[in-house]
A = this chain, B = another copy of it.
Amino acid sequence: MNDLCLTNTLRLLQSADQIKARLSGDFASVHGLSVNEVFLLLHLEQAPLHRLSRVELAKRMHVSASTVTRMAAPLEKIGVVARQTDERDARLAFVVLTESGLEKVHEARVTFTKQAGYVFRDRWTQEDLEQLSGLLHRLIADAPGNLT
A residues at B contact (CB < 8 Å): 1-21, 35, 39, 42, 61-62, 109, 112-117, 119-120, 123-124, 126, 128-133, 135-140, 143, 145-148
Residues B16 and A12 in contact, CB atoms below 8 Å apart: yes
State the CA gap A119–B6 with chains docked (Å): 10
Task: Find A20's partner among B13, B35, B124, B148 (CB 8 Å cutoff).
Answer: B13
Copies in the complex: 2
With a cutoff of 8 Å between Cβ atoms, the chain B residues found around residue A3 in the complex are: 113
With a cutoff of 8 Å between Cβ atoms, the chain B residues found around residue A124 in the complex are: 5, 138
**A113-B13 CB under 8 A given contacts A18-B143, A131-B135, A135-B135:** no
Residues A14 and B129 in contact, CB atoms below 8 Å apart: no
Task: Find A112's partner among B6, B62, B148 (CB 8 Å cutoff).
Answer: B6
